[in-house]
Amino acid sequence: MSSTASGKSGTWRNWAGNVSARPVRDVTPASVEELAATVRQAAEDGLRVKAVGSGHSFTAVAATDGVLIRPQLLTGIRKIDRAAGTVTVEAGTPLKRLNVALAREGLSLTNMGDIMEQTVSGATSTGTHGTGRDSASIAAQITALELVTADGSVINCSEKGTEEERAVFAAARIGLGALGVVTAITFSVEPLFLLTAREEPMTFDEVTNSFDELHAENEHFEFYWFPHTGNCNSKRNNRSAGPEKPVGRIRGLFEDEFLSNGLFQVANSVGRAVPATIPAIAKISSRALSARTYTDIPYKVFTSPRRVRFTEMEYAVPRAALVETLRELKAMIDRSPLRISFPVEVRTAPADDITLSTASGRDSAYIAIHMYKGTPHRAYFTAAERIFTAHEGRPHWGKLHTREAEHFAEIYPRFGEFTALRDRLDPDRRFGNDYLRRVLGT
């Protein structure tokens, strides 16, 4: 007997609330076989299919007017192979559950993003990343994938497979849901280690003048710049022999919850209602967090709670172009009437070999801009995007941008390789939607 939950669907919305969709029906398959049957049935009914994760993408990459596949029953660890240093996990598993389960087994991913609410397949398929001098995105830590394709077939692919399986592997690690539905992922893992985080205020000039040194000297370096100020908060994460010295409970509640979430929520609400107050609020916000150093297991250092909702644009530029790009962004904001209440986040990643990775073939730096939920963002994002694209920027696939297929064909040397593979695996565009038509072409 099938345990697939299926039926008429209401409106689906993403986390930020800026994307919604009304699928014909949604399905919650309990096995790969049931998911494959769902895809075949959709084909018979002439419906398109999209799988959703936790809705943390700001684009409509997962939206559909056909069959919406929910992954809640495709969760958990399938296998831990300590000899190979890998873990195979069901695609609907939230990163938070994976991180906790791995830590319990004395294991860890090498690098992570800054939140862990996403599903593993949603995070990897859109290119979610953290920051790293030597270690790259979450998708770059994948060693094998299981994928249900448009005809209901199940493909297992890795670098060790046939020529076609290697081509699928190179693309499907960041596949945008365009090649099929990912059902399981095998990640490279390593023995659990400790990271020491050093967080401290720096000025904008200090951090930009010494960015190359800060990047070279730290395994993981990132910083936030507060528009309308010359102030930044920086964070350096490096491996440590210990001992563990986690953030104290009282200080953690005060800084990570009250200041970074509760008080920040209030400040943004005030700024949305009275934009003229934003520069003054920014000066206060940029000085609210004091320097601190702590040592803990990786996911407790890499990730933070993010409860204030926003919309976001993020571009990857060549790492060598980061400082110039950021200075142009600051100059644009300083001379404009824009009022920006959210800090600008800057991270890095080494080059990787994934076909449509924002770091494909080049060392990259990421500039992420945000606007508080409900605040008009178009003027800011349009002006910033003009700067980013002038520096050969590549937009994050899950964050807002206006680029189209013709642009991607120019900035991704292997773009044609991806679209040719899509033509082979999904010639009828069973997994298509309006967003993929825009970014991948027809």
What's the CATH code of the domain at 99?
3.30.465.10
CATH number, domain of 252, equals 3.40.462.10
- Alpha-carbon span 254 to 274, nearest angstrom: 26
Tokens 């939206």 label which residue? Answer: 63
pLDDT of 259 reads 57
Distance from C-alpha of 312 to C-alpha of 177, rounded to nearest angstrom: 20
Q: Is residue 249 in a domain?
A: yes
Last residue within a domain, chosen from 148, 176, 191: 191
Last residue of a domain, one of 191, 215, 233: 191
Tally helices (H) and strands (E) across the chain.
15, 21
H-helix or E-strand containing 371?
strand 364-372
In a domain, residue 442? The reply is: no
Report if residue 34 sits inside a domain: no
Q: Are residues 256 and 337 in the same domain?
A: yes
**Rounded CA gap, 23 and 160, in Å?**
38
Are residues 247 and 109 both part of a single domain? no
Asked whether residue 357 is assigned to any structural domain, the reply reads yes
247 and 374 co-located in one domain: yes
Contact (CB, 8 A) for 389 and 401: no
DSSP string, 294-363: EEE-HHHHH-----S-EEEEEEEEEGGGHHHHHHHHHHHHHHSS----SPEEEEEE--B--TT-TTBTS-
Domain-located, residue 423: no
| Phi, psi for 132 (deg, rounded to 5) | -170, 140
Looking at the fold, whether 246 and 104 belong to one and the same domain comes out as: no
pLDDT of residue 256: 64
* Spatial distance between the Cα atoms of 328 and 190, rounded to a whole number of angstroms: 40
Chain position carrying tokens 């831990």: 80
- Is 326 in the same domain as 287? yes
Are the C-beta atoms of residues 194 and 296 closer than 8 Å to each other? yes
Domain assignment of residue 122, yes or no = yes
Name the β-bridge partners of 368: 314, 345
Among 300, 304, 303, 296, CA closest to 239: 296
Q: What is the pLDDT of residue 2?
A: 39
Instruction: Return contacts of 320-326, CB within 8 angstroms, 24+ apart.
Output: 320/363, 321/365, 321/391, 321/392, 322/211, 322/346, 322/348, 322/365, 322/367, 323/208, 323/211, 324/391, 325/365, 325/367, 325/387, 325/388, 325/391, 325/393, 326/208, 326/225, 326/367
In angstroms, the Cα distances linking 416 to 187, 356, 408, 409, 438 are 27, 10, 10, 7, 15
Same domain, 172 and 213: no
> What is residue 7's predicted lDDT score, i.e. its pLDDT?
54
- Ranges assigned E (strand) in 177-266: 181-188, 190-191, 194-203, 220-225, 231-240
Judgement on whether residues 163 and 249 belong to the same structural domain of the protein: no
One domain for residues 215 and 260: yes
The answer to whether residue 390 sits within a structural domain is: yes
Is residue 203 domain-shared with residue 129, that is, in the same domain?
Answer: no
| Domain co-membership, 118 together with 236 | no
Q: pLDDT of the chain along its 442 residues, tens only? A: 334 555 556 899 999 999 999 999 999 999 999 999 999 999 999 999 999 999 999 999 999 999 999 999 999 999 999 999 999 999 999 999 999 999 999 999 999 999 999 999 999 999 999 999 999 899 999 999 999 999 999 999 999 999 999 999 999 999 999 999 999 999 999 999 999 999 999 999 999 999 999 999 999 999 999 999 999 999 999 999 989 999 876 566 556 654 566 767 877 888 888 888 888 878 877 777 779 999 999 999 999 888 789 999 999 999 999 999 999 999 999 999 999 999 999 999 999 999 999 999 999 999 999 999 999 999 999 999 999 999 999 999 999 999 999 999 999 999 999 999 999 999 999 999 999 999 999 8
Number of domains present in the structure of the chain = 2
Backbone angles phi, psi at 333, to 5 degrees: -65, -40
Could you give the CA distance from residue 75 to residue 114 in angstroms, rounded to a whole number? 21
169 and 205 inside one domain: no
130 and 243 co-located in one domain: no
CA distance 289 to 247: 13
121 within some domain: yes
Identify the domain boundary among 140, 167, 191: 191
* Lookup result for tokens 């990787």: 352
**Owning domain of residue 139:** 77-191
